[in-house]
Amino acid sequence: MTMKNMMLDNNWQQLTDGTKTVKLQILNMPVRYAECNTAPGDSTPFFTLQSGLYEAGPEISYVRADMQSAFIVVAEKVAP
Q: What is the pLDDT of residues 20-69, one digit of tens each?
A: 999 999 999 999 999 999 999 989 999 999 999 999 999 999 999 998 89
CATH architecture of 3-76: Sandwich (2.60)
State the pLDDT at residue 10.
94
| Distant-in-sequence, close-in-space partners of 59: CB < 8 Å, separation ≥ 6 | 16, 18, 35
State the pLDDT at residue 71.
85
State the pLDDT at residue 68.
84
pLDDT band at 7 (very low <50, low <70, confident <90, very high): very high
Residue 2 has pLDDT above 90, yes or no: no
